[in-house]
Amino acid sequence: NWLTHHLLLYRSGELAHATCRSGWQTCSRLQRFTVIDDDMQEVKPRTLGNIVVRLPLPPGAALSLWQNHNLFNKLYFTKFPGYYDTMDAGFVDEEGFLYIMSRSDDVINVAGHRLSAGALEESVLLHPAVGDCAVVGLEDTLKGLVPLALCVLKNGVQKNEEEIINETVKLVRDTIGPVAAFRKVIFVRGLPKTRSGKIPRSALANLVNGKPYKITPTIEDPEVFKDIERQVEKALSTR
């Protein structure tokens, strides 16, 4: 949505006064970021929500899409009237610093708790045996969705897979908390990625839930989907 690419330009005059720490200061005079829930209410500090910008947008922001202004309005201004929808999910801390955690469609709603797929992946990747990981929501009759991790092990790993699963479950519990309800890990030979390195989580979510999914032309190795299908079918048929 082009928001990322102009942030540095409009904030460059304030860098000399910036605090060196993680997170992004939201006190700019030009853009008014806030984090809201799906009912357009501002959320409490460190609560995951939708990152939006109060209108009007500052100079330099895109004003339309070429020959498709209706689509522009539909994409960015319809869901949250009065705001520009960044389509990112994140939170603000007690000092007003903004943390971008993932795309909004990568948020997993577990029994009413909104969890960032990116944050869950970071926790799983803390395990020394895991080389790559994608977390998606698996449909569950009780919780709505539960996180499922598709993991690629590093070369030469000798440890038992069941032991690795137990250790990653503990890692997520220690870093995210029991609210994540994280217990499902499936090992695959590789993850689908675009040429720019992005993982198509929406396609993977459809795959693990037995729904039709689309393989875009930008995927470097489409064959990994077949392996993931086999591993998912094998793992979930025995649950």
Look at residue 3 in the predicted model and tell me its pLDDT. 54
Instruction: Write down which residue in 104, 130, 155 finishes a domain.
Output: 104
Q: How far apart are CA 151 and CA 230, in angstroms?
A: 14
pLDDT tens digits, the chain, 239 residues: what are they? Answer: 445 544 544 454 555 555 555 555 554 444 588 999 989 999 999 888 999 999 988 777 888 889 999 999 998 999 999 999 998 888 998 888 888 887 877 889 999 888 989 889 999 999 999 999 999 999 999 999 999 999 999 999 999 999 999 999 999 999 999 999 999 999 999 999 998 888 999 999 999 999 999 999 999 999 999 999 999 999 987 65
Same domain as 144, residue 57: no
Q: Bridge partners of 189?
A: none
Instruction: Write down which residue in 45, 75, 104 finishes a domain.
Output: 104
Same domain as 156, residue 47: no
* Structural tokens at position 79: 């869901």
Same domain as 148, residue 73: no
Q: Bridge partners of 153?
A: 130
Same domain as 156, residue 52: no
The domain that contains 11 carries what CATH number? 2.30.38.10
Same domain as 116, residue 99: no
Look at residue 27 in the predicted model and tell me its pLDDT. 47
The residue written with tokens 């392996």 in the block is: 227
Same domain as 63, residue 28: yes
Q: Bridge partners of 92?
A: 98
Report how many domains make up the chain. 2
Look at residue 24 in the predicted model and tell me its pLDDT. 55
What's the domain range around 225?
Answer: 111-236
In 3D space, the residue among 57, 9, 15 whose CA is nearest the CA of residue 33 turns out to be 57
Look at residue 4 in the predicted model and tell me its pLDDT. 53
The domain that contains 127 carries what CATH number? 3.30.300.30
Helices (H), the chain: 3-11, 69-76, 117-124, 161-175, 201-208, 224-236
- Predicted TM-score (pTM) of this structure: 0.74
Residue 231 neighbours by CB under 8 Å, 6+ apart: 186, 187, 188
Instruction: Write down which residue in 49, 84, 104 finishes a domain.
Output: 104
Strands 184-187 and 144-153: parallel
Look at residue 6 in the predicted model and tell me its pLDDT. 47
